[in-house]
């Protein structure tokens, strides 16, 4: 059947449990080959004007054309949905991604990520007079302070009010939410209450 391979690409991406599965170069290449084959057949059939007494060639061309369109659509959907994941990671982790995740990007995706960073940063800067980081304040504030546990030996951290706390591994602190939110996303702190 036509288009099976392109459908498989999408299904596998959808089913994968990983945050970012590796790019299926081989699968994509096979779809390209299928498309090229279909296209060549169509060109040959269209140029062959002699033998088409009952219109079968026309139907064949129509079916192959539809298959080509569908393949294209599936490939674009595959590329787009991977990009969506990249995009969500930008919002989750910030402009610098952990290495193990980035390892599964292919070259155009790395480029896309870098350019997207530029776009987003430019937009954040344009808000208001001094700019605003929209990746902060993601959750509605329930309480000002949250209890957090330090997951790493982070060292000293100066708070907004000038106090300095020492973040040692396994130590717990009561800190203002605004201040520890970025540290939680970076994986330095872990929230333990509410």
Partner 1 sequence: MEDTFGDDDFFSDGDGEPITAQKVLQTLEEAWLNEKFCPDLLPSQADYVECMMEQIQQMEENVNKLKKNDFRVEVHHMELARIRYTITSYLRSRLEKIEKNTAYILEQEALRGPENSYLSEGELIFARDFLALQENHCKQLVLQHVPPPFQDFMPTQQSLVPNLRSHVFLRAKKDVDGVVIEGDRDSRDEEVDLEENSQHIMQYKPIANFVKDGTIQLI
**Which residues contribute to the site for partner 1 (CB under 8 A)?**
28, 32, 35-36, 39, 68-69, 71-73, 75-76, 79-80, 83, 87, 106, 108-109, 111-112, 115-116, 118-120, 122-123, 126-130, 132, 134, 136-141, 143-144, 161, 176-178
CB closer to partner 1 out of 14 and 54: 14
Cβ proximity to partner 1, 32 vs 154, nearer residue:
32
Q: Least distance from C-beta 96 to partner 1, angstroms? A: 19
Pair 35, 69: CB distance under 8 Å: no
What's the closest the beta carbon of residue 152 comes to partner 1, in angstroms?
A: 26
Torsion on CA atoms 142, 143, 149, 155, rounded to nearest 10: 120
Q: Which is nearer to partner 1, 111 or 171 (CB)?
A: 111
Residue 64 CB, nearest approach to partner 1 (Å): 11
Q: What backbone torsions phi and psi does residue 144 show, to the nearest 5 degrees?
A: -70, -35
C-alpha distance from residue 91 to each of 80, 87, 133, 137 (Å): 17, 7, 11, 12
Least distance from C-beta 109 to partner 1, angstroms?
Answer: 8
In our burial notation (b when 16+ CB lie closer than 10 A, e otherwise), range 104-140 reads ebeeebeebbeeeeeebeeeeeeeeeeeeeebeeeee
Closest distance of CB 182 from partner 1, Å: 14
The CB-of-100 to partner 1 minimum distance in angstroms stands at 22
CB 113 within 8 A of CB 97: yes
Which CB sits closer to partner 1, 11 or 169? 11
Which of 7/79 has CB closer to partner 1? 79
Please identify, using beta-carbon distances, which residue of 93 and 116 lies nearer to partner 1. 116
CA distance 47 to 182: 63
Distances in whole angstroms, Cα of residue 36 to Cα of each of 29, 30, 116, 169: 11, 10, 32, 57
């Amino acid at each position: 059947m036509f288009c099976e391979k392109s459908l498989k690409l999408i299904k596998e991406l959808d089913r994968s449990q990983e945050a970012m599965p590796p790019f299926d170069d081989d699968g994509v290449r096979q779809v390209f080959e299928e498309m090229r084959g279909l296209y060549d057949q169509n060109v040959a059939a269209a140029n062959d004007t002699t033998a088409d007494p009952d219109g079968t060639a026309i139907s064949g061309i129509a079916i192959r054309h539809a298959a080509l369109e569908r393949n294209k659509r599936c490939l674009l959907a595959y590329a787009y949905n991977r990009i969506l994941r990249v995009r969500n990671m930008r919002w989750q982790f910030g402009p610098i991604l952990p290495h193990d995740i980035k390892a599964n990007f292919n070259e155009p995706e790395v480029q896309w990520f870098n350019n997207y960073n530029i776009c987003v940063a430019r937009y954040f800067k344009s808000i208001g007079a001094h700019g605003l980081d929209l990746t902060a304040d993601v959750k509605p504030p329930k309480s000002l302070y949250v209890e957090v546990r330090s997951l790493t030996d982070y060292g000293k951290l100066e708070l907004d009010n000038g106090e300095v706390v020492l973040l040692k591994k396994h130590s717990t602190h009561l800190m203002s939410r605004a201040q520890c939110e970025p540290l939680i996303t970076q994986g330095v702190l872990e929230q333990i209450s509410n």
